[in-house]
Structure 1
Amino acid sequence: MNNLNNKKIGLIAGSGQFPIIFSKIAVSKGFLVYAAAFINEAEETLKEEVEKIEWLHLGQVKRLVNFFKKNEIKEVVMLGAIKKTKMFSDVKPDMKAISLIMHMKSTHDDGLLSAFAGMLEKEGIIVKSSTFLLPDLLAQEGCWTKRKPTRSEKADINIGLHIAKEIGRLDIGQCVVVCGGSVLAVEAIDGTDATIRRGGKLGNGEAVIVKVCKPEQDTRFDMPAVGIQTISTMYESGVKALAVEANKAVVFDREDMIRLADKVGISIVAVSI
């Protein structure tokens, strides 16, 4: 499989389908993918899509760096989610990780990821944008579904866009659920699906969800993502419309996502802010 003409790319892999999608496309474009995959997060099947894989625990920073250096990796992407609740129970920090955290002013998501990326770059490993090979996954502006948002849903979306940007500015989360001008749920450590469920319980079948990029978001990592699972959770929770930020959200299974939304009467829009 290895070919001297192939360009190498490193992958730091969390959970979900993004690392697998990236690996397949990277290989189709002539890249050799070397994955550092987090145990209990990354999909086991990732190993079938990459040139080489190193399984490690959260916090094993030195081992991650050594893996990339050993394989002469100069550029990496960081893809996939890390369940934030596991950061308090499933971490094995080495001395390099402890040193990194001790020198940080904040351990919020953006601060932690930016510090981690900075450390990698000092080691000669450049972190590239998560979508540099996948521009087609970015949300395109407009209404994607047969049903357009109602007037009241549009009003709630506008409120949600403002509030979601504010919680993003505070590095709390990326999405909110709104109904009748009131914020029903704010994303926290439990993630987007849990936020939809919490808000849906209070929305009486009329709520909307808004998910945006944080104002100071580093698009190399942690871009907001939606997919068919988002629509399934919305339907189960009685949430009627989804708004994302155009060109600043990653969309998985777009056609299947729209098909399901049309079937159950959910509206999807991507708006520029």
Structure 2
Amino acid sequence: MAVDPDKIGVIAGSGQFPLLFIEAAKKAGRRTVLIAHRNETGDEVAAAADEVCWLKLGQLGKLLKFFHSRGVGETVFVGAITKTKIFRDILPDIKALSLWNKIDSKQDDAILRAVAGALEQEGIQVLESTCYLQHLFFPHGVLTRKKPDNNQRLDIAFGWKNARAIGALDIGQCVVVRNRSVLAVEAIDGTDATIIRGGNLAKEQAVVVKVRKPGQDFRFDLPATGIQTIETLASVRGAVLAVEAGQSLLFDPEAMIRAADEAGIIVVGVSENLDGTLDY
């Protein structure tokens, strides 16, 4: 079937990002063809799309067949996939198994780049997930009423260096620190679990730092925060959320900042200068 330029594929995980993307794409005049993952993608996302195919993680051949039958020539990856499902809730078809066996590293970027490569070999271009949503980038500066004190600024700088290091190894994008000690490092369990692990060790006043990976591919796996992040940090009496500005996504900013102010949590968008110093 010929490519329909009005259509855009949406390969969706969980969360609100897929719904926000579909709404923005429609405003831009695109028809959305959705790949929805069972036990991940919300029903409201499926209801918003023009066409939908439900599948389980690993059904790459089914995905390609659906896109080709609908004339999809461009697609995006949006929303999270629970990473632990790689080990317990995957139904790989022959196409996926063949691809999986060619991947040396089973880390996030390696898997996603391999899937993107397979799509592009089939004539389906993978676009940046933010192509219609630049307004969702995390802003620069202190966003809350409270500002970080000197000790917290030192923790932000310390956490930044360590978060960047684990990102370079494709381990995660977030660390939890207190008094220049790393209490938790994000791994396959995700940001919220990392905050809980680190926050419980800190007892209180934990500082969470979340950054992009060096060489971050904006087509997928962008860091994202929202009100759920604040609620999780508040549950362990955390003190600071520092996020790299312009390199990650912020959902429901007004509600998030309101919740942070109510909990006494500092939220700050941080930028790195050419000389390595931090600015906010």
TM-score, shorter chain, exceeding 0.5: yes
Contact 1:241–1:266 (CA under 8 A) maintained in structure 2 = yes
1:226 corresponds to which letter in structure 2? T
Alignment partner, residue 63 of structure 1: 62
Map of 2:276 onto structure 1: none
CA contact (8 A) 1:79 1:221 kept: yes
Matched-pair contact (CA < 8 Å) for 1:245–1:271: yes
Report if aligned partners of 1:203, 1:238 keep a CA contact under 8 Å in 2: no
Residues 6 and 32, structure 1, Cα contact 8 Å, conserved in 2: no
Give distance in 2, aligned partners of 1:19 and 1:245. 22
AA at the equivalent of 1:249: S
TM superposition shift of 1:60: 0.3
Question: Where does residue 26 of structure 2 map in the other structure?
Answer: 27
Residue 209 of structure 2 corresponds to residue 210 of structure 1: yes
- Aligned residue for 1:103? 102
Alignment partner, residue 75 of structure 1: 74
Deviation at 1:202, TM superposition (A): 1.4
Tell me the amino acid that sits aligned with residue 220 of structure 1.
Answer: R
Alignment of 1:1-273 (within 5 A): 7-273=6-272
Deviations 1:167-221 (A, max 9, x none): 1111111100000110011111111111111111111311100001111221110
Rounded Cα–Cα distance in structure 1 between residues aligned with 2:215 and 2:28:
31
Offset of residue 101 of structure 1: 1.3
Give per-residue Cα distances to partners, 1:47-93, cap 9 Å, x unaligned.
21110000001110010011111100111010111111111111110
CA RMSD of aligned residues (A): 1.1
Q: How many residues align?
A: 269
CA shift at 1:95, angstroms?
0.8
Q: Which residue of 1 aligns with 2:277?
A: none
What is the distance in 1 between the residues matched to 2:194 and 2:187?
8
Say if 1:77 and 1:129, in contact at 8 Å, map to a contact too.
Answer: yes
| Structure 2 unaligned residues grouped into runs of 5+ | 273-280
Alpha-carbon distance between aligned partners in 2 of 1:57 and 1:139, rounded to the nearest angstrom:
31
Residue 46 of structure 1 deviates from its aligned partner by 1.3
Gaps of 5+ in 1: none
Percent identity, please: 50
